[in-house]
Structure 1
Amino acid sequence: MAPPVTRRPVGHHHGDLRNSLLRASLELVGERGPHGFTLAEASRRAGVSVAAPYKHFADRDALLAELATQGYREQRNRFAAAVKGIEDPADQLASFAAAYVRFAAEEPALFDVTFNAGLDRSRFAEPAAAGDEVARLLLPVARQFASDPDAAFDLLLRIAAAAHGLAVFLRQGLFGVGIAALSDTEEKAARTARAILRQDAGS
């Protein structure tokens, strides 16, 4: 008797195929980083043929660009929620810094795609546009501490960079692990944001 034939799942319509590939790729990013897998591996993980991705994505970078766009949109949603209802702009920027750390901890694969995929910005406009949306959300807050738009962007960049570094340290285990370490790092990020604001005010 011939052995039973194992078949891949079938029935993906176009939207399901695209989303299945994105989910599978995000899982692989979480396991191996944004450069540690191929489209063929993503196809196998999603249970589709190796030719399937090319119906939606020209290559792996095009797929990663879609994930990076999702990453920026998730950040914008989180940061908007973090500053909503807070009147004091210093409190808003401190809350943004804490939310930045939490995003990195709770969505590590999206964080890695967004910042470590090394995508060609001249080829992929969507991630850059989504990133600009994040800046447009927060620049009016930073503008309340700065004399001009360039200075506001520089201030926001320094706060984000500090939060980014703390988030990376947390992920590397330098601050411990678990909920307590995350909460402590969020507080560090908020305190650092306030320190940057005080430093600027005193200069």
Structure 2
Amino acid sequence: MAVKRRPTGTHHGDLRNALEEAALALVGERGPHGFTLAEACRRAGVSVSAPYKHFADREALLASLALKGYQEQRRRYRTALAAHTAPAEQLAAFAVAYVRFAAEERALFDITFLAGLDKSRHPELAQAGSALHDDLMPVTREIVPDPDEAFELLVQVAAAAHGLALFQQQDMLPGPWNTNSSVEEQAARTARALAGRRAH
């Protein structure tokens, strides 16, 4: 995660980062809708007027964190894709990286996908999402050249991984299947199966 930690009790040399860190902690405790900008200020130990030097409102603070979420996802997905050459295995690695990000960076995942941020107000988020698509489409097009079908395959793999991530977070999978390793294995198997159906 790109948000830097600062030593306890030190002066805020980086107000923006201190507010992002406070908001991330609050989201981890209460979800992306469960805190106010004033609470983030109190958590960061700054005045309630402080954030307006960097963020117009609470949504702008969350949007900044969502962008970090997209950037962290892209870093993880690119690493996953680079570890394999066969496209089906690349998709399986992407699916594993997806559910792992959701488990390891729960607050960032929730902000990115559940905060309801208006992408027309924050076009940088739409651009970041498009960058993920641009990295993954060449992989699915190796399996199925038609761009519409390749996009459909990408959506199916991502939707399956997203669903598994949410099932795990909500404890909706029976005990032995609700572990990180089991969910990662399920995500990989599903991605391979979807890729295999398209390849024939």
Normalising by structure 1, report the TM-score: 0.89
Work out the CA distance in 1 between the residues paired with 2:138 and 2:196: 18
Answer whether contact 2:144 2:199 (CA < 8 A) is retained.
Answer: no
Counterpart in 2 of 1:26?
24
Counterpart in 2 of 1:70?
68
Bigger Rg over Cα: 1
| 1:146 is the counterpart of 2:144 | yes
Please provide the CA RMSD for this pair: 1.8
Shift of 1:142: 0.8
After TM superposition, list the pairs within 5 Å mapping 1:49-198 onto structure 2: 49-175=47-173, 181-198=179-196
| Paired letter, 1:22 | E
Work out the CA distance in 2 between the residues paired with 1:120 and 1:177: 36
What 5-or-longer segments of structure 2 have no aligned partner?
1-8
Counterpart in 2 of 1:4?
none
Shift of 1:149: 2.2
Counterpart in 2 of 1:201?
199
| 1:11 is the counterpart of 2:11 | yes
Deviations 1:102-132 (A, max 9, x none): 0000000000000011111111011111111
Work out the CA distance in 1 between the residues paired with 2:83 and 2:93: 11
2:83 alignment partner, SS class: coil
Shift of 1:169: 0.8
Shift of 1:177: 7.1
- CA separation of 1:100 and 1:177: change in aligned 2, threshold 3 A: farther
Matched residues, number: 192
Answer whether contact 1:93 1:141 (CA < 8 A) is retained.
Answer: yes
| Identity between Structure 1 and Structure 2 (%) | 61
Normalising by structure 2, report the TM-score: 0.90
Work out the CA distance in 2 between the residues paired with 1:198 and 1:30: 37
Shift of 1:197: 1.4
